[in-house]
A and B are shown apart, each in its own frame.
Chain A
């Protein structure tokens, strides 16, 4: 595929040995991160200790020669994300979350359609944060964005599948949370003794499948 002409790659210095690469939006950030992963796998990226994608940035931390890398990055041509043969993780979900009715109302659909719509979507882990193994998944069309709950819950159970803004998330362990709960999975999302520890790492494609109660 051709490169994205006019993709703006803005490189900001962070301290002595890190670079924050700012893109125009979430899709561009994911495409840039995918390009970084390709180059890293092919040993065509100078040594970098951490590559941390986020909403519309990618942080490169522990860079040996940040000035040289900053100059190089600004000239990259980054192809758009492709639905390639990357590995897809399939996660069974029971769509029986406490906020299904509220989400159905926000979407303007019947309650049983929430799981149908959600499981028909192909997701991609855009980035992680909040807690080890908590992935922010994108893929739902913009009309299905929902706000966070006005009052966060003190405890969201481990395995909860939830929505907030453009993201779907899955709670690797019980924690406070303000996302709208639509379902639950028994899949182990985070196990530091497993390789890989996180089921959802940035760049992973994810498909949820309906598991009947």
Chain B
């Protein structure tokens, strides 16, 4: 059973829960950026959360299936069409054999998740089918004409009575725990980071959320020896504009990390469109 790509949109990748546990070998964790949306799409078609979905970027995608299969689209709200006819978003949709599934551009947010009963069965690499755009592990981003294998459905489609359409983050509120290298920055810079003026840069991607806004000033010169990086790290490169590390982030880095965004705040980052105002709010540890 295969899915043939008709239109790959701006960027469509295969994603599951990623390949954590290999950071010491230089392997990014990768995986769906909006994990709750990925999990919801899988649940709606009866898949376990570990099944691979398609992650679209802004423009959606179009695919044709060779056999009848149940699909669901979650994440960024968008139009869903089957052979040109409107179908439900965030609900199981039965596709007949040879049907064309069109996932429209995101009406809000950035990334939609398309789950097929049985999951995308691309060859796993280090236990994951996720496309890792930093190191090139996993399947390459989708291209038109490409055929992706589907797995065997394992459970009945779950369905849902009501799935609330998520509001786009506006502003994007990011709790930040300062450290481990906040002492590399001036006290004024810590205030600047938590002040107004930051917006999501259009250069953001799966590696990091880049920000336009006031540059942060260092309190010290010199270079930091390369050190391990975590998901959600707010790294500050020499231009002073912070970058929030997302799933495909490098495992080590030599620029100081001024603070870390808890992972619970990162699904919203996945849906923050360029230009969205960003507000960092200091948060303490228990």
Query: Does B associate with A?
Result: yes
Give the CA-CA distance A15 to B257 in the complex, in Å. Answer: 10
Q: Tally the A-B contacts, defined by beta carbons under 8 Å.
A: 105
User: By the criterion CB–CB under 8 Å, are A133 and B226 in contact?
Assistant: no
Residues of B within 8 A of A18 (CB): 230, 260
Q: Does A206 contact B (CB under 8 A)?
A: no
Does residue A57 face the partner (Cβ distance < 8 Å to B)?
Answer: yes
Known: A132-B27, A132-B135. A14 touches B257 (CB 8 A): yes
Does residue A49 face the partner (Cβ distance < 8 Å to B)? Answer: yes
Interface size class of A (residues with CB under 8 A): 20 to 34
A129 CB–B CB distance under 8 Å? yes
Interface centre among A49, A50, A55, A193 (most CB of B within 10 A): A50
Q: Could you tell me the distance between the alpha carbons of A13 and B285 in the complex, rounded to whole angstroms? A: 10
Q: By the criterion CB–CB under 8 Å, are B26 and A15 in contact?
A: no
- Is residue A198 contacting chain B, with contact meaning CB distance below 8 A? yes
Q: Does A51 have its Cβ within 8 Å of any Cβ on chain B?
A: yes
A61–B24 CA distance with the chains assembled, in angstroms: 11
Judged by a CB distance under 8 angstroms, whether A58 is at the interface is yes
User: Which B residue's beta carbon lies closest to that of A129?
Assistant: B252
Within residues 48 to 70 of chain A, which ones have a CB less than 8 A from any CB in chain B?
A: 49-59, 61-62
Establish whether residues A201 and B230, one from each chain, have CB atoms under 8 Å apart when the complex forms.
no
* A131:B24 contact, CB within 8 angstroms: no
Residue picked from B22, B126, B180, most chain A C-beta under 10 Å: B180
Q: Is B162 part of the contact surface with A, judged by Cβ < 8 Å?
A: no
Please, how many angstroms separate the alpha-carbon atoms of A20 and B252 in the complex? Answer: 12
On whether A54 and B230 interact (CB within 8 A), knowing A16-B177, A129-B26, the answer reads: no
B226 with A55: CB separation less than 8 A: yes
Closest 9 CB pairs of A and B: A59-B228, A15-B260, A52-B228, A55-B225, A12-B180, A129-B252, A128-B26, A57-B227, A54-B227
* Interface contacts beyond A14-B179, A16-B177: sample of 18 additional A-B pairs, CB < 8 Å, sorted by A: A12-B179, A13-B177, A13-B285, A14-B260, A18-B260, A50-B23, A52-B251, A54-B226, A55-B225, A55-B227, A128-B251, A129-B26, A130-B250, A132-B22, A132-B26, A132-B137, A133-B26, A201-B24
B contact residues vs A (CB 8 Å cutoff): 20-27, 125-126, 135, 137, 177, 179-180, 225-230, 232-233, 250-252, 257, 260-263, 285
Interface positions of A (Cβ within 8 A of B): 12-16, 18, 20, 49-59, 61-62, 127-134, 192-193, 197-198, 201-202
Residue contacts A-B, CB under 8 angstroms, 11 given: A12-B180, A13-B177, A13-B285, A14-B179, A14-B260, A15-B232, A15-B233, A53-B24, A54-B228, A54-B252, A198-B25
